[in-house]
Structure 1
Amino acid sequence: MEIKLSSKIILEKEFKKSMKGYNVDQVDQFLDQIMEDYDAFEKVVEELRAENKRLKEELENTASRRTQVQQPVTSNTNFDILKRLSNLEKEVFGSKLFE
């Protein structure tokens, strides 16, 4: 969705005048309110974009840290399993293991 208007475009908009036209002061006041809203919307959109960018970067950093942390844990777990397996083999097979 593309934003087509800005407060500057609204401010510079010219309307044709006719005999039975609208009250110019009322139109100007209404356009002023619209411009204020657009300025507020633009500010909110920029803040949300910045927050979205920050959160995406934080998510990427967290994901990369988790990957780094999980790898050593896996190797430690594998070492523990191999150590337990070795001890189990010694208990089950005893001296036959080395023959």
Structure 2
Amino acid sequence: MAEKNLTAKDILQKEFSRSMRGYNAAEVDEYLDSIIRDYDSYQKDVVFLKNENERLISKVDELTKQLALAKKNVPSSPGSGVTNFDILKRLSNLEKHVFGAKISNADANIEEN
């Protein structure tokens, strides 16, 4: 960032040389006063924005650390790529295997009677 060479005090205390056909000193002073007001406002804004920038950078660092800790604490599940459809299909096959024999035996017993 470029360094600012002027301060509000420098602007306020600036003296111009007088010449026969020079500028109206009152107008120059009035204009410089308006510049000082703007300059002070800009300086306050710069200080505020620098502080806000530092605060946000520290917040980003804090959140990055929290994210890194959270990633370490989350166990990686081996079936993380498994979808609900896969789970339902496995459950259906398991039910067929476990209950299929019982259902077949129950049907056979009903038919015998």
Structure-1 residue corresponding to 2:49: 48
Residue 22 (structure 1) shift = 0.9
Q: Distance in 2 between matches of 1:64 and 1:2?
A: 34
Could you list the per-position Cα deviations for residues 9-43 of structure 1 after superposition, in whole angstroms to 9, with x for gaps in the alignment? 00111111111111111000000000001001001
Residue 46 (structure 1) shift = 0.6
Scaled by the length of structure 1, the TM-score of the pair is 0.74
Could you list the per-position Cα deviations for residues 43-92 of structure 1 after superposition, in whole angstroms to 9, with x for gaps in the alignment? 1101100110000000000000000110011xx22xx43xxxxxxxxxxx
Q: Distance in 1 between matches of 2:44 and 2:20?
A: 39
Structure 1 residue ranges without an equivalent (≥5):
82-99
Instruction: Kindly indicate whether structure 1 or structure 2 has the higher relative contact order, using CA contacts under 8 Å at least 6 residues apart.
Output: 1
Higher helix share: 1
Match status 1:72 vs 2:73: yes
Superposition CA RMSD, Å: 0.9
Structure-2 residue corresponding to 1:29: 30
Structure 2 residue ranges without an equivalent (≥5):
79-113
Report runs of 4+ in structure 1 exceeding 4 Å deviation.
Answer: none
Count of aligned residue pairs for this structure pair = 77
Q: Distance in 2 between matches of 1:16 and 1:25?
A: 13
Please say which structure displays the higher CA radius of gyration.
2
